[in-house]
Amino acid sequence: MKPTVKEFYNDKELISEVEKLSSQGISKKNLYVLSHDDDRTERVADNANANEIGARETGIGTAVGNMIVSKGDELRNQLQEMGFSKEEADQYEEKLDEGKILLLVQD
């Protein structure tokens, strides 16, 4: 089942949402942060005590393949491995291009 996606421009709002969801009983292991900037993704995920999408979620083949593709292709691949269609992954990657940061919530 694909995750629910929440979009943010502001890192602090995403962190607040993670805390809110956590207080409602959603495990932080089911919360993933994704942005177009690896440093931003890592910083926000660390501050929110949430996860980044990695080899565990995408599989080792996709993770290795992502090392040689463009950032946009890497993000689309990650989104597809999380359960989104190619069209949905394209749409979310465009939002990341616009500077948004995404919170993916696995049920």
DSSP for the chain, written as a single string: -PPEEEEES-HHHHHHHHHHHHHTT--GGGEEEE-SSHHHHHHHHHHHT-EE--HHHH-HHHHHHGGGS-HHHHHHHHHHHTT--HHHHHHHHHHHHTT-EEEEE--
Whether residue 85 is predicted with pLDDT greater than 90 in this model: the reply is: yes
Whether residue 65 is predicted with pLDDT greater than 90 in this model: the reply is: no
Mean pLDDT of 5-15: 96
Task: Report pLDDT for 19.
Answer: 95
> Which has more pLDDT, 104 or 69?
104
Mean pLDDT of 37-43: 92
- Across the chain, mean pLDDT equals 85
Q: What is the pTM of this model?
A: 0.83
Task: Report pLDDT for 70.
Answer: 63
Task: Report pLDDT for 91.
Answer: 96
Task: Report pLDDT for 74.
Answer: 80
The total of structural domains in the chain comes to 1
> Which has more pLDDT, 102 or 60?
102
> Which has more pLDDT, 105 or 62?
105
Residue 92 domain boundaries: 4-105
